[in-house]
Structure 1
Amino acid sequence: MGDQGSSKRRKDTLRYHSGFRNHVSSEALPGALPVGQNSPQRCPYGLYAEQLSGSAFTAPRSHNLRSWLYRIRPSVVQGAYRPLEMPRVATAPLKNISPDPNPMRWDPMPMVDDDSDFLEGLTTLAVNGDVQTQTGCGTHLYAFTRGMRQRFFCNADGELLIVPQQGSLEVRSEMGLLHVASGEIVVIPRGIKFQLNPLDESDSDTRHVCRGYVAENYGAPLELPSLGPIGANGLANPRDFLAPSAWYEECSDDHELVTKFAGGFWMATLDHSPLDVVAWHGNYAPYKYDLATFNAINTVSFDHPDPSIFTVLTSPSDTAGVANLDFVIFPPRWMVAENTFRPPYFHRNLMSELMGLIHGEYDAKREGFSPGSASLHNAMTPHGPDAATFAAASQADLAPQYQGNTLAFMFESRYLFQATPHALKAEFRQQEYGAVWQGLESHFTPHTR
């Protein structure tokens, strides 16, 4: 059961439901969930029954996503939408912009405004695919200092995978509350209304800076990857994913609902909070995951497996084994391979990669890639360790070493990324990024092995 009772100002001790996409039953008032029927003639407490579907009705049972919400007012009770300008947020496809084969890198994004909320501090780096055919993804940075107050957000274009880099977040959603710290992630499924705030915003004497990354997945919902030969015990464990318990607020103040639809932003007014779901059950809800619980698989002999072994979540495409979007992490781990170049090897890949750094250092970069930075390598663009990293790793003592001060991640996609005009012209873009490899000189000695 969920928290017993809730109101606009109440912050009860959080209670979570464990398991990846388990069927959850949660109620904030005892008996608020109907017994035996999803949509009875009269719901308890005078509530309205509303189904939220995250998949087609006819999707196979194993991939059918839906939740029943029992709410004070149905979602249709809102004003008419009117367009809203969000000039720094873009959606695929971008017109008259070709994907660029050059490697790109950005420093941490500076604050857009010293008094901005999540939506005002959102900036798109690169996009791919096509939102209207539900393929590909968008990648964004965020930086904000205050909560959304009377404003809420609903993304009809895709699910949001949010990766905090600095500052803890309070996620207030239709299904309940989630607290998400740096080192954790949160996924907001498509179509769910929510609000993102600094977790400790009530401390008015402190300026709370929140920064991070967002993947906006237009394609199939994220799921756990198949383990194959790894077996039953590796990578992300389903039980470590946490969904919220029911929590609601009832108030008659004026609110705004911002919706992203077909790449555009729209705003509607409401005379109540949209977070008025008193009870819910189903398998379509926000969830969070602590990246520290990821069980990294590595080698005990030589070479190292492909980076796909670090996949946390994947959005499959219509081609088996080729992802619409993968979320991959490079967490703390032991380095034990024998007679092996241990950093990530020089590489050209069918997939396009957008990488970020949450904290620490990334083991393929000696400089220029600090927490909050981002890099982009499109398909078949060569990349790998910089010259200083290569020189050090080639001479390193190969005793067992714990790679502890690191947490990097990658958004990887089969589609080519288009960097946005704003990202290409940004002052925080590293225009000379390619210079990090220019020190890789020839060591070829044809007469000496």
Structure 2
Amino acid sequence: MIKAALLGAGNRGMFAYGSYALDRPNEIQFVAIAEPNTKKREKFAETHGIEEDMQFSNWEDLLDNPKLCDVLLVCTQDRNHYEPTMKALDIGYDILLEKPMSPNPSETLEMAEKAHQCNQILTVCHVLRYSTFFSELKSIIDDNKIGDIMSIQWNENVGYYHQAHSFVRGNWRNSTESSSMILQKCSHDMDMLQWLIGEQCTKVSSFGSLSYFNEDNAPEGSTERCTDGCAVEHECPYSALKWYHNEKTTWPVNVVELTPDLDMRLKAIKEGPYGRCVYRSDNNVVDHQVANLLFENGVTVAFTMSAFTKEQGRTFQLMGTKGEIIGSTTKNEITIKYFSGKEEVISPAQVQGGHGGADTMIMRDFVKQINDKTYKSKTSAMESAKSHLIAFAAEESRLSGETISMDEYMNQLKQLN
């Protein structure tokens, strides 16, 4: 059985990966935890039966020890990925790392190169590669069912409520504290596109802005917090009272307060970041963005990320020389429309767990990697780094207004190093 340590007991560490160990204790067991939030640290430790001397209030204290176990799951905040990962690789840990690898492109490359030099496993949580849905889509493409792909339209439908929760009120609202929107949320999509197309991206252009979630759009009668007597709270789709003041124990309510106690939930809404008016927060990340991508084989991609959708998920249209593929993760449907007139609708098998079962599947894959060093995973740290660089280039283009050559961008990063 694999012995593991967790850095960061937030929603991803606590539930996405921690729950896998609870369901399959014969495969992996958490024996150490580092988490600055006392309530989260104690809850994770109690749930997993972690001894008191293996509970740490910060990752530095945990990594100051000799190697404590086999693997490390790094689920800290974005800007706290680089240092613990680099130190853990030196110690000899195999690592499962939450995306993004780092908000810094140079650090991202360094981490991938370090893992290669140390001959250690560094798997980045681009979980969609492991989902049954996208695995099915990849098989359809590789089987040449629609011929050669010519162009792709790809939408990341963030969902109005997810934008408000994570990117207006939540941990990823401000790029100076976390990452740009296209890196944090859409590095999944850049990784998917690179994987499905099977070639490297050569050019990127991008446009987008924060247009709606700002004080200019605050309704008359609104207040700093939803609990401050806001005149429009009852009608507001983003009301913190509607979203969080209930006894649910699932996302996103459990992010605001772990326990389903209404008094504690109300206290968190009144005092914490999730009770702020969505028009009066300190958010700065975009609420909509487009990116145009050109790949080595001539495939063009029109990518759109938008907060302004009812449903959360991805929709796409892949256009090939023999047909097209239309898909929706929300509907769990992939439709192949052949130019011959035939039409095929596929509903991929579903697996328990977040991201359409992908959280479960990446843990299963990680366990396989640790137990069998000859096992070939679906990705590598360097592949993940390259897809990150597409997102970095897109943000560079958005800010500069220039089309970014990926070769030139890479050369500039190497010169900086």
Which range, TM-score by smaller chain? under 0.3
TM-score (norm 1): 0.24
Q: Which protein shows a greater Rg?
A: 1
Say which structure is richer in helix: 2
TM-score (norm 2): 0.26
